[in-house]
Amino acid sequence: MVFRFLIRILANNEQLVQKLSESYPMRRAAQVVVRVMFSSKNLIEEHRLREKLSPEQFRALMSEVAANFQNQLKQAQENIKRKMK
């Protein structure tokens, strides 16, 4: 309950939100999310997923997307560590 209250107060602080949005980790996180979205879209188009998939094919595709996301996240973490040094 108290945690929600604090988050609400911080989220409504316009200056804090502005500073966070200009920070490198937040911008990098947004870049990773956009990259994963576009790579997932390309993956779907590549496999011609307009047609129905079997459950096994869907699981395989989702595991591939998850692996891609994890790789992108690791790369982003390494980039952040290099920038901080």
pTM for this structure? 0.49
Q: Is residue 68 part of a domain?
A: yes
Number of domains in the chain: 1
Q: Is residue 38 part of a domain?
A: yes
Q: Is residue 36 part of a domain?
A: yes
Q: Is residue 6 part of a domain?
A: no
Q: Is residue 7 part of a domain?
A: no
Range of the domain at 69: 24-84
CA pair distance 17, 9, nearest whole angstrom: 11
pLDDT tens-place string over residues 17-70: 888 888 888 888 888 888 888 887 777 777 666 667 778 877 887 888 888 888
Provide DSSP, 17-42.
Answer: HHHHHHSHHHHHHHHHHHHHHHHHHH
Greatest CA separation for the chain: 49
Q: Is residue 29 part of a domain?
A: yes
Q: Is residue 1 part of a domain?
A: no
Q: Is residue 33 part of a domain?
A: yes
